[in-house]
Amino acid sequence: MLFGGGGFFVRAMSGRQPTVELVDSLSELHAEVAACRACPRLVEWREQIATDKRAAFREWDYWGRGVPGFGDPRARILVLGLAPAAHGANRTGRVFTGDRSGDWLYRAMHRAGLANQATSVSATDGLELHGAWVTAAVKCAPPANKPTPDERERCRPFLERELALLTDVRVVVCLGAFGYEVACAQLGVSPRPRFGHGLEVPGVGRDERCTLVCSFHPSQQNTFTGKLTEPMLDAVFARAVALTSG
């Protein structure tokens, strides 16, 4: 059964089906993210990239808008990254789709039983998530992959609403220090333990029932140098699954 709106679809594969109200609210949020023009620098950059394109993707019709979250509305695991990649999600319209970071992420999620396939190349490739939701703290691709503090703040309400709608989330997998910092701010973690791969912060959120689980970001810088390996990422997702299985 497919759910979603505004050009976005989410497939619920968990045992509990989402309510109509939840799906409608997520669909409304998706549409607002895609239409947002609150940050002039980001709007200019994402649209310039969509026009100029990369030679390898010359035939693509780039998305060039804000990129909503994606996954199972009844997710118990939320994966939080930084922002869409200029020629990845900004091209395909789906978070962590069409770039090497996404290749690493969805392979790991597939091995953990959270995705039906190990590949993520386009928004229509048949990828389905089971018990998981993937999103980014900043919804538009930023120049040099570095949003400004003001841009991060303007985007914050989108993530707040996302977390409020995804009421079954019990684990937030934070990809990189930025994702971790944003998760801590959203969920009221203070003082904030120092970020590190494998760090766990239990008892967070309004009802203290969520756990943060941290991973180095699957960026090319980290994966090419061996700072992050596939077994390391697998261990993070295995732990996230274990925490939601009790």
> For the chain, what are the domain ranges?
2-243
Residue 68 tokens, joined: 């909503």
pLDDT tens figures, 39-96: 999 999 999 999 999 999 999 999 999 999 999 999 999 999 999 999 999 999 999 9
Per-residue pLDDT at 100: 96
Give dist(CA 212, CA 224) in Å, integer.
26
Is residue 11 predicted with pLDDT exceeding 80?
A: no
Q: Look up tokens 């109509």; give the residue.
A: 20
Question: In the structure, what pLDDT confidence band is assigned to residue 166 with cuts at 50, 70 and 90?
Answer: very high
Is residue 28 predicted with pLDDT exceeding 90?
A: yes
**What are the beta bridge partners of residue 172?**
78, 212
Give dist(CA 77, CA 130) in Å, integer.
9
Alpha-carbon distances, residue 33 vs 36, 69, 141, 175, 202 (angstroms)? 5, 9, 12, 21, 30
Averaged over 14-41, what is the pLDDT? 84
Alpha-carbon distances, residue 4 vs 11, 12, 20, 236 (angstroms)? 8, 10, 10, 29
pTM across the whole model? 0.91
Per-residue pLDDT at 207: 83
Give dist(CA 246, CA 242) in Å, integer.
7
Averaged over 186-197, what is the pLDDT? 96
Give dist(CA 24, CA 26) in Å, integer.
6
Averaged over 201-225, what is the pLDDT? 95
Give dist(CA 81, CA 177) in Å, integer.
9
- Under CATH, what is the fold of the domain 2-243? Uracil-DNA Glycosylase, subunit E (3.40.470)
